[in-house]
Amino acid sequence: MNIELKEGINWVGYIDWTVRDFHGYKTESGSTYNSYMIEDEQNAVIDGVKAQYAEYQIKRMAARVGLESIKYIVCNHAEPDHSGSLPELMKVCPNAVMVCNAKCKDTLEKHFDTADWEWQIVDDGDSISLGKRTLTFLNTPMVHWPESMFSYVPEEKLLFSMDAFGQHFATAFRFDDEEPLDVILQEAKAYYANIVMLYGRPISQTLKKAAELEIEMIAPSHGVIWRSHIKEILEGYQKWVVCKPEPKVIVMYASMWGSTGKMAEAILEGIQEYEVEARFYSVDATHSTTIATEVLDCAAIAIGSPTLNNSLMPNMAGALCYLGGLRPTNKKGFAFGSYGWSKRGGASEVEDRMKEMKIELTQEPIRSQYVPTPELLEKCREAGRELGKYAEQYKH
């Protein structure tokens, strides 16, 4: 396995082949927790790994240099997938100081016993000389937590971008040109949608900062390192930060006895009269991770649930909680669903959630008392046509 980014700069992280859940994100492709070692007059390590994999990281570090020679351990982001091993690292590297910004120090102190740690607090634009190379720090708040920052090595045009540009993708290869581009871009899109979609605005500020840097390589904290397809990943982020609509419409629904399912099918039929990509998801069959990834760049969405106990079907409630937290923008759509004797819950509650998500509503919710009539199904078809027509304008 090639782990060398540049001469004297190596990957010392951990490949997590088996992780399948990352705080609700279904990580079917596993993940990696990337850490990097810069060997110079002063040796430095960038970021940790999950606590339970500390021994593997330390073994990789020790295979390169004597641990007593490590002067700096940089923490770009305090979330435990990158900070979990830091207490072990600080124990086994007796001469290391922890380099991070003030917010990160505060966050680390609230996670770990840091009483014995030496600190070097850095702020936006500060630099540390390692000898032949320099580490420069850029605060990137909310990408992904308030304390997040990038580390940049100007002499190598190398950016350590922490969560940004990452992918939950376990592979024996470390670089973007060693895996199919469509696969890694899709993984990067899924990562963006499910981890940081709600931070589009701060991420676009971060992209502006990154645009001022000369970059030959981007080394994120998860997944492959970008060295051959930097243009493609930056272009992807430019689209994703604004949830740029594609000619795509999603029907997402839950059904109890099939009535809301029939309505969903009719809406789909209407959409398919237009030249757009149609996606059809039962929340009982498809994980929210997949749905969130597709919602990121859809133009329109119809969401349906019957009334159950004056509320929603539980899987729909869960899916909307997940999706609502990620706050997709730039969508139009409507709610639909069947009911029996109570109009509370169901389509009305779906519509409330869509309003909270600031989805522009194209019409009142479509409701069917029990089984939908042919007339009601035609109404669904017509509503689907409207979404299809709207989305078609985004054809390239």
- 62: amino acid identity, one letter: A
**In the bound complex, what is the minimum distance in angstroms from residue 79's beta carbon to ligand FEO?**
4
Tell me phi and psi for residue 349, to 5 degrees: -70, -35
Of 40, 79, 246, 349, which lies in the binding site for ligand FEO, with binding defined by CB under 6 A? 79
DSSP assignment of 192-235? IIIIIGGGHHHHHHHHHHHHTS--SEEEESSS-BBSS-HHHHHH
And the tokens for 101? 């910004």
Is position 4 annotated as part of the catalytic site? no
Distance CA 277, CA 299 (A): 10
Does residue number 381 form part of the binding site for ligand FEO (CB under 6 A)? no
**In the bound complex, what is the minimum distance in angstroms from residue 77's beta carbon to ligand FEO?**
6
Stretch that binds ligand FEO, among 75-83, 118-126, 255-263, 306-314 (CB under 6 A): 75-83
64, 37 contact by CB (below 8 A): yes
Is position 77 annotated as part of the catalytic site? yes
80, 50 contact by CB (below 8 A): yes
Distance CA 302, CA 350 (A): 10
And the tokens for 340? 């029996």
191, 274, 281, 390: the active-site residue: 191
Does residue number 331 form part of the binding site for ligand FEO (CB under 6 A)? no
Q: Strand locations in 69-220, DSSP E?
A: 70-74, 97-100, 119-121, 127-129, 134-139, 149-153, 158-162, 217-220
According to CB under 6 A, which residues from 208 to 247 bind ligand FEO? Answer: 221-222
Residues 6 or more apart whose CB falls under 8 angstroms from that of 91 comprise none
Which strand (E) or helix (H) includes residue 380?
Answer: helix 374-392
Is position 21 annotated as part of the catalytic site? no
**In the bound complex, what is the minimum distance in angstroms from residue 347's beta carbon to ligand FEO?**
36
Of 50, 71, 82, 367, which lies in the binding site for ligand FEO, with binding defined by CB under 6 A? 82
204, 299 contact by CB (below 8 A): no
Does residue number 187 form part of the binding site for ligand FEO (CB under 6 A)? no
Distance CA 89, CA 33 (A): 15
Does residue number 71 form part of the binding site for ligand FEO (CB under 6 A)? no
**In the bound complex, what is the minimum distance in angstroms from residue 237's beta carbon to ligand FEO?**
16
Alpha carbon 304 to its chain centroid, in Å, reads 25
The number of helix segments (H) and strand segments (E) in the chain equals 12, 22
Nearer to ligand FEO, 47 or 265 (CB): 47
Nearer to ligand FEO, 57 or 255 (CB): 57
And the tokens for 326? 């990620």
Does residue number 351 form part of the binding site for ligand FEO (CB under 6 A)? no
**In the bound complex, what is the minimum distance in angstroms from residue 50's beta carbon to ligand FEO?**
10
Nearer to ligand FEO, 57 or 368 (CB): 57
Among 383, 375, 374, 378, CA closest to 347? 383
33, 36, 82, 144: the active-site residue: 144
Nearer to ligand FEO, 82 or 229 (CB): 82
Does residue number 81 form part of the binding site for ligand FEO (CB under 6 A)? yes
Does residue number 50 form part of the binding site for ligand FEO (CB under 6 A)? no
Is position 229 annotated as part of the catalytic site? no
7, 21, 23, 182: the active-site residue: 23
According to CB under 6 A, which residues from 130 to 159 bind ligand FEO? Answer: 144
Nearer to ligand FEO, 163 or 179 (CB): 163
25, 36, 40, 222: the active-site residue: 222
* Helical segments of the chain, H only: 54-64, 80-83, 86-92, 102-109, 181-191, 200-211, 230-240, 259-271, 288-295, 314-326, 346-356, 374-392
79, 179, 265, 297: the active-site residue: 79
Is position 81 annotated as part of the catalytic site? yes
Of 16, 39, 147, 163, which lies in the binding site for ligand FEO, with binding defined by CB under 6 A? 163
Is position 116 annotated as part of the catalytic site? no
Nearer to ligand FEO, 48 or 384 (CB): 48
Under DSSP, is residue 142 helix (H, G, I), strand (E, B) or coil? coil
Residues near ligand FEO (CB under 6 A) are 77, 79, 81-82, 144, 163, 221-222
The residues annotated with a catalytic role in the active site are 23, 77, 79, 81, 144, 163, 191, 222
